[in-house]
């Protein structure tokens, strides 16, 4: 864990956090947002998508973040992230289509890289049982 902590500390000091996008803003999504935003310097939840937009907004407000953009296009999302702003959307595909998404790479490679958006995408989905 020391290697990861050291890498995250360096990214925090360089103002180049690992950017995380979440699909799903239920109980676990809100908890992940809170954990990252409050207790993990060097990481940042840059975008949250949820089919109910108010739940995506709630994830940020529960973490003490009051300012975020509602985005409907990939360009709006990318602009929001590039400008250091948070974004919410009802369209999960936007998060998947944003330029700079990290695909098929391991955690160490992302932490060591300092270029691009470096977005980690987490998809949170739980089946309801009856």
> For the chain, which residues make up each domain, given as ranges?
2-123
* CATH of 2-123 among 3.30.1360, 1.10.3210, 3.30.70, 3.40.50: 3.40.50
CA 46 remoteness from chain centre: 4
Could you tell me if 32 and 45 are in contact, meaning their C-beta atoms sit under 8 angstroms apart?
yes
Helix ranges (H only) for the chain are: 2-13, 27-39, 53-62, 74-82, 92-97, 107-112
**For residue 102, pLDDT beyond 70:** no
**For residue 116, pLDDT beyond 50:** no
* Residue 98 token pair: 């944003």
Mean pLDDT of 122-127: 53
Kindly report the number of other CB atoms within 10 A of residue 96's CB atom: 16
- pTM (predicted TM-score): 0.78
**For residue 26, pLDDT beyond 50:** yes
Nearest to 98 by CA among 121, 115, 69: 121
Q: 121 or 79: whose pLDDT is higher? A: 79
């Amino acid at each position: 864990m020391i290697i990861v902590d050291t890498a995250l500390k360096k990214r925090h000091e360089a103002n180049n956090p690992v950017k995380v996008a979440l699909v799903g803003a239920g109980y676990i999504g809100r908890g992940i947002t809170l954990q990252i935003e409050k207790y993990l310097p060097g990481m940042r939840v840059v975008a949250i998508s949820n089919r109910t937009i108010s739940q995506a907004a709630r994830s940020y407000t529960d973490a003490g973040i009051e300012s975020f953009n509602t985005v409907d296009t990939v360009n709006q999302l990318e602009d929001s992230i590039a400008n250091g702003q948070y974004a919410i959307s009802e369209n999960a595909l936007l998060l998947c289509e944003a330029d700079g998404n990290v695909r098929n790479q391991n955690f160490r490679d992302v932490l060591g890289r300092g270029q691009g958006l470096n977005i980690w995408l987490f998809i949170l989905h739980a089946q309801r049982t009856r």
